[in-house]
Chains A and B, each alone.
Chain A
């Protein structure tokens, strides 16, 4: 079977990517700029092409939606919900519980400008909330940052795989730009997931003991041990599940670090400056958690200097700093409020890098 080429919006691509990955249920609460995801999945509900897609339900609130996700995921189903920044704040309660309950499911946050209501333009200002847990307690989400409509379509499968492999929620952190952008992509080929949920999913308890999905443990020692096991999973994931993209970094003197839509702009910058003979490359984290710190440290150890470009005031910058270590120049260019930096702005910055080497 050959892949079909289609022209889709990022949000639509994410919806189809989830369906092709074997989506069973979607719980919806509308919010701009992510609403094309529930709209697409409402339209496709009942389509015989997706017999595994059993449930589309619009909730009365973001909280209700994430808790419906928890219930549905408890049965071992493949479940998705999408939201945008203000809604992502409301999802945090459920994500904290799910991490402790070890529930696999997928969330998409199509980030807009914040804080508060902000506006509907692109920002990457949910980076902290996405990568540092976000809700109460000590936990992490797998965080994938797509940079194109093609990746909006292909990342749901990666997200579900990670979620079920580690029994932990996964997040696709897009932004208003990747969500609204329309591109020509290769439509993902459907896959039949074969995740083994028999040891924990609730449902038929015939011939086995109780399955209890719980975040409550009043015995301090038992809770210490339970979370210790969860932290071990995170350690394994940090070793095994890191994804990043390296573009012309080998001989580069300066490496631009950017994720998501910004990496697309940065790639243009690299191409332009290379033509002028300037040795510049791009390092693009794809998993924001686990963060590709070892790969970055290696680049730093080769004596390169860095320019971190983000749609915020420097949230990933902190992880970059920690990764490269002291004495390394990491300059920063940030835009916020829904505004993207132009290629020219980044070019100018690369050529006049300030030595910021804390």
Chain B
């Protein structure tokens, strides 16, 4: 398979990335997303006009990695903080990276109302089906039967219900202009010479990050959900975790464009 370059930026890292090493665990897609965001900010030339709202969860230290202004929000409140920044400074590019516990559990009201008011902000949701930062507890996105530290015998649907589909939910809200679920997980191609991976998902994710910023610039609320792994808390190898997403998680959280008011996908 031919080598595809993920970043058009010629050499090295995107300018919007700092030189700090990240704290992300090996195999975690948070680092990938951070780099995709930095590349998109570079390519759109909006670094100096970008304010990131850091959410509580594994993305909370993003101010160490993304070279722009940051406001660090309380758990779940990032869309409200983003709303405050954006209403006062509509010309800024305001975005947040939330985890599933942050966005879909404790901060669901803030997320829904930011969408409902068609707030021109961009919300990236990293869905790894678990509370990662706190050590692997059940998240709203935890799949039925999945073992976590608070569902040690598997998620009991009779007691805690099934997983919550954030993209489907937000796509029902009229104020949302762009809702899409993509995957940050590379996929394997069977090959007699051994494991070969394709970054098809990452290329789509990269384009989607750009689209999500473009939608904001057009005046719309953009929401992108990224399927990702948490091999440490899933108690799996990195490879097993990636296979789990590609084989199981993706069936419960199908990829696709759920809403595209401005038609940025076709552009």
- Residues of chain A touching chain B, judged by Cβ–Cβ distance below 8 Å, are 24-25, 27, 54-55, 57, 59-61, 63-65, 67-75, 77, 79, 93-94, 97, 101, 202-206, 210-216
Contacts and interface: CB of A to CB of B under 8 A. Distances in A.
Contacts of A55: 87-88
A212 B60 contact: no
Interface of B: 47-51, 53-54, 60-61, 63, 67-74, 77, 80-89, 92, 109-110, 112-113, 117
Contact of A204 (B49, B86, B87, B109): B49
28 contacts: A27-B84, A54-B87, A55-B87, A60-B109, A63-B80, A63-B109, A63-B110, A64-B113, A68-B84, A70-B81, A70-B84, A71-B80, A71-B81, A74-B81, A74-B84, A79-B84, A93-B74, A101-B71, A203-B69, A205-B47, A205-B48, A210-B63, A210-B68, A211-B70, A212-B63, A212-B71, A215-B72, A216-B61
B74 A67 contact: yes
Contacts, number: 122
Contact of B113 (A54, A59, A210): A59
A101 B54 CA distance: 13
- What 10 A-B pairs are tightest by C-beta distance, nearest first? A71-B84, A67-B80, A72-B84, A202-B69, A71-B81, A67-B77, A68-B84, A214-B72, A206-B48, A71-B85
B114 to A, nearest CB: 9
B96 to A, nearest CB: 11
A211 B81 CA distance: 16
A243 B67 CA distance: 43
B69 A211 contact: yes
A204 B71 contact: no
Interface of chain A, helix or strand or loop or mixed?
mixed
B83 A75 contact: no
A69 B84 CA distance: 6
A210 B80 contact: no
Nearest to A68: B84
A72 B87 CA distance: 7
Nearest to B56: A216
A64 B87 contact: no
A69 B47 CA distance: 24
A216 B59 CA distance: 13
Contacts of A61: 109
A94 B110 CA distance: 14
**Which of B86, B89, B117 has the most CB atoms of chain A within a 10 A radius of its CB?**
B89
**Which of A60, A73, A93 has the most CB atoms of chain B within a 10 A radius of its CB?**
A60
